[in-house]
Amino acid sequence: MTEGQDEELARLIALSKDSSKRGRRQLFTNISDLFLHDKERLSEQEQALIIGIMTKLLTEIETTIRQNLAEELADLEDVPHGLITLLANDEIDVARPILFKSHLLAEPDLVEIIQNRSKEHLLAIAERDDLNAAVSDLLISHGDEDVISHLIENGDAKISRKSMEYLVEESRRIDRFQEPLIARHDIPADLAHKMFWWVSAALRRHILEHFEIDELELNEKIVAAAKTEYRFDVSDNSSNADKLIAELSKRKELNEKFLVQALRGRQIRLFLIGLAELSGLDYQKISRFIYDPNAEALIVVLKALEFSRSGFSTVYLLTRNISVSAKTQNMTKPEEVEIIMKFYDKLSTKNAQVTLRFWQLERDYLEVIDKLDEDLDDDDRIYL
């Protein structure tokens, strides 16, 4: 042992006999310095001994001192692992910089902290830039809405497909999950489109503009599912409107011009049956699109069917007037029409057609719309 080490040891022994707060504080500081600057000369046994002493001292040392030490160590890559885990399990004001920044914390360390520490510890972990899918899954299972919200907003955190599916489902009832989920770069396109049915108009437009469905994957699904198109029953129980639409479809005369004329003539049921036939979607769902105050679903359908700009404008304005509640009598505002028309122009026919094919294949959205229908008050329903 060198003369310098002898002197340092003597100082530590002297300080250990001083039970005052000042003495405890100085002892903690000196041991910390020894650990940081002379750790390469310490054996594993000596390091373990020092960790044990520091653990006992923690309850006697002011939070600010421990916090300053944690902030100093959080960015370093050569700190003894034992010291890092010690601080990471401290009270949150001390642990936060370590939990947030230190890359010396391994997955087992984070798992143990998530399972045993406070919500505030989980919030700090949720903001780390190196979270793998396993740790993210654990945060989701142990955390509350605040923790999960922090995790979703952390674009660097990896989230498994299974957890992403769960979060998308949760976003039906937890609005605060919706925007950050849609903003994530790793959310699968099909899950983003699944959220289309319960998010705001702005997010619907973002989904249609930024999440392209893989055509090859969609084609494979169609072949695998042996998709059956929606066609109308033309039995004796069918209405005249059903029979007329079936006949027009058979003769290839069911088109934009006919549907617009039907709508102008207030033949609403005829229009809906015809649009359902052309789009391959269910009549009730097409009815729901018209009732929906957000017109994005209607935009997709008409763009996919290659309606002209004027044809869409006519359908949009007429259906908006139909869907206005009798109690409010509010008319569509010019600025709203302008926004909708710009979006109709911007949405490509190809993207609309692929999205429509996706809707024809997927059945989850039908359940969502059914649930939305059930939630509507009877006074607000439209009977067509």
249-276: pLDDT as tens digits: 899 999 999 999 999 999 999 999 999 9
- Dihedral (Cα; 115, 121, 126, 129), 10-degree rounding: -110
Kindly report, residue by residue over 318-362, the tens digit of the pLDDT.
Answer: 988 765 544 444 567 888 899 999 999 999 999 999 999 999 887
Which structural domain range is residue 238 located in? Answer: 218-380
The number of folded domains in the chain is 2
Q: Which DSSP letter does residue 379 get?
A: G
Q: Does 151 fall in a domain?
A: no
Of the chain, the percentage scoring pLDDT greater than 90 comes to 51
pLDDT band at 130 (very low <50, low <70, confident <90, very high): very high
Report residue 91 as tokens. Answer: 């009270």
Q: Does 14 fall in a domain?
A: yes
Q: Does 365 fall in a domain?
A: yes
Question: Quick one: average pLDDT of 145-168?
Answer: 97
* CA-CA-CA-CA torsion sign (303, 201, 184, 147): negative
Q: Does 321 fall in a domain?
A: yes
Q: Which DSSP letter does residue 309 get?
A: H
Q: Are residues 222 and 100 in the same domain?
A: no
- Dihedral (Cα; 277, 280, 282, 287), 10-degree rounding: -70
Kindly tell me if the per-residue pLDDT of 205 is higher than 50.
Answer: yes
pLDDT at position 238 is 61
Q: Are residues 240 and 369 in the same domain?
A: yes
User: Which of the listed residues 105, 129, 148 is the one where a domain comes to its end?
Assistant: 105
Q: Does 141 fall in a domain?
A: no
Torsion-angle region of residue 18: left (phi > 0), alpha (psi -120 to 50) or beta?
A: beta
Q: Does 204 fall in a domain?
A: no
Cα 17 to Cα 38: distance, rounded to the nearest angstrom: 23
Q: Does 41 fall in a domain?
A: yes
Cα 129 to Cα 157: distance, rounded to the nearest angstrom: 6
56-60, 62-66, 130-134, 222-226 — most confident range: 130-134
42-56, 209-223, 300-314 — most confident range: 300-314
Q: Are residues 231 and 376 in the same domain?
A: yes
User: Which of the listed residues 72, 105, 138 is the one where a domain comes to its end?
Assistant: 105
pLDDT at position 326 is 40
Kindly tell me if the per-residue pLDDT of 65 is higher than 60.
Answer: yes
Lowest-confidence region among 23-32, 185-194, 337-346: 23-32
What average pLDDT is seen over the chain?
82
Q: Does 242 fall in a domain?
A: yes
pLDDT at position 285 is 86
Q: What is the CA radius of gyration of the chain?
A: 32
Torsion-angle region of residue 76: left (phi > 0), alpha (psi -120 to 50) or beta?
A: beta
pLDDT at position 224 is 54
User: Which of the listed residues 63, 84, 105 is the one where a domain comes to its end?
Assistant: 105
With beta carbons less than 8 A apart as the criterion, state whether 367 and 169 touch.
Answer: no
Question: Quick one: average pLDDT of 152-172?
Answer: 96
